[in-house]
């Protein structure tokens, strides 16, 4: 009987979980709540959806951490599958941003007559790329360095440097978000300012959203590191966060070069 119960393979057969369903329902409520807020300025449904989304994320994180850290379900074979999954996810994110770049270049390379046949269109004062955008570029490049430092510290089993590198990366991510929010507040145009405003804010805004998600991801890794999680040869949770953060860095370099410098 014991022989029949013992797992005879290295794969992880995921147990039934309510979190995928709850996450989907929470996301749907959040989307409907956002639409309701845009039309009526009533934010109660959006607040409920946001709270449910955070709760389901927290509980799902908890289960995955338990599987990898305590139950031993994340064997080398499973980790390989997780790496493939994260790689495909980042590739899908690349194509997501390709859509916004495509819209931007489609409008800017051949501006329509209604735009005055010039780019930026008449009446639009572009953001100075050598002001806050340049500072944010340096911040993200530095954050890529600190997260790499933390990764190598983990491989060398230097726990103190791991936590220090992660904390610095999180702080830099927060500073980037605050500076970008300040840039938006003082911009001379809005999301509704034609094709320029829509492509600018959608591309840079979604990147900012990814920075926030990456900062949360790294914050989870920081508290896990403080709790003694991760080993030098078993730390895919942190590795995935580092990959995601480097992806955010690279996307910003393209945004800075095309939308801020060339587009202005």
Which pLDDT score is estimated for 29?
Answer: 96
Which pLDDT score is estimated for 139?
Answer: 97
- Beta-bridge partners for 234: 231
Hey, which CATH number is domain 75-262, 3.40.50.300, 1.10.3720.10, 1.20.120.80, 3.40.50.180? 1.20.120.80
> Between 151 and 188, where is the model more confident?
151
* Mean pLDDT over each residue of the chain, to the nearest integer: 90
Q: What is the pLDDT of residues 38-58, one digit of tens each?
A: 898 888 999 999 999 999 989
Q: Domains of the chain: which residue ranges?
A: 1-73, 75-262
Measuring CA to CA, which residue among 70, 64, 62, 81 is closest to residue 9?
81
Report the CATH fold assignment for 1-73: Helix Hairpins (1.10.287)
DSSP 257: I
Q: Which tokens hold the place of 203?
A: 């591309």
pLDDT band (50, 70, 90) for residue 4: very low
Measuring CA to CA, which residue among 179, 161, 250 is closest to residue 214?
250
Which pLDDT score is estimated for 20?
Answer: 93
Which pLDDT score is estimated for 116?
Answer: 67
> Between 4 and 42, where is the model more confident?
42
Which pLDDT score is estimated for 10?
Answer: 80
Q: What is the pLDDT of residues 201-253, one digit of tens each?
A: 999 999 999 999 999 999 999 999 999 888 888 888 999 999 999 999 999 99
């Amino acid at each position: 009987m014991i022989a029949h119960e013992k797992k005879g393979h290295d794969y992880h057969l995921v147990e039934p979980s309510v979190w995928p369903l709850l996450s989907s329902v929470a996301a749907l409520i959040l989307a409907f709540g956002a639409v309701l807020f845009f039309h009526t300025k009533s934010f109660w449904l959006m607040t409920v959806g946001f709270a449910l989304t955070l709760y389901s994320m927290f509980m799902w994180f908890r289960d995955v951490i338990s599987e990898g850290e305590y139950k031993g379900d994340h064997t080398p074979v499973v980790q390989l599958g997780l790496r493939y999954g994260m790689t495909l996810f980042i590739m899908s994110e690349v194509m997501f941003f390709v859509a916004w770049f495509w819209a931007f270049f489609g409008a800017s390379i051949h501006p329509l007559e209604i735009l005055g046949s010039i780019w930026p269109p008449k009446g639009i004062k572009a953001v100075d790329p050598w002001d806050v955008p340049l500072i944010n570029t340096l911040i993200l490049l530095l954050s890529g360095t600190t997260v790499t430092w933390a990764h190598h510290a983990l491989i060398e089993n230097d726990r103190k440097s791991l936590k220090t590198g992660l904390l610095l990366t999180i702080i830099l991510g927060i500073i980037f978000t605050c500076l970008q929010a300040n840039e938006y507040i003082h911009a001379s145009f809005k999301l509704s300012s034609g094709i320029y405003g829509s492509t600018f804010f959608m591309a840079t805004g979604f990147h900012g959203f990814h920075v926030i998600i990456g900062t949360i991801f790294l914050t989870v890794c920081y508290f896990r590191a403080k709790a003694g999680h991760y080993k030098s040869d078993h730390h895919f949770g942190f590795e995935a966060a580092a990959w995601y953060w480097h992806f955010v860095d690279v996307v910003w370099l393209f945004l800075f070069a095309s939308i801020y410098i060339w587009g202005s």
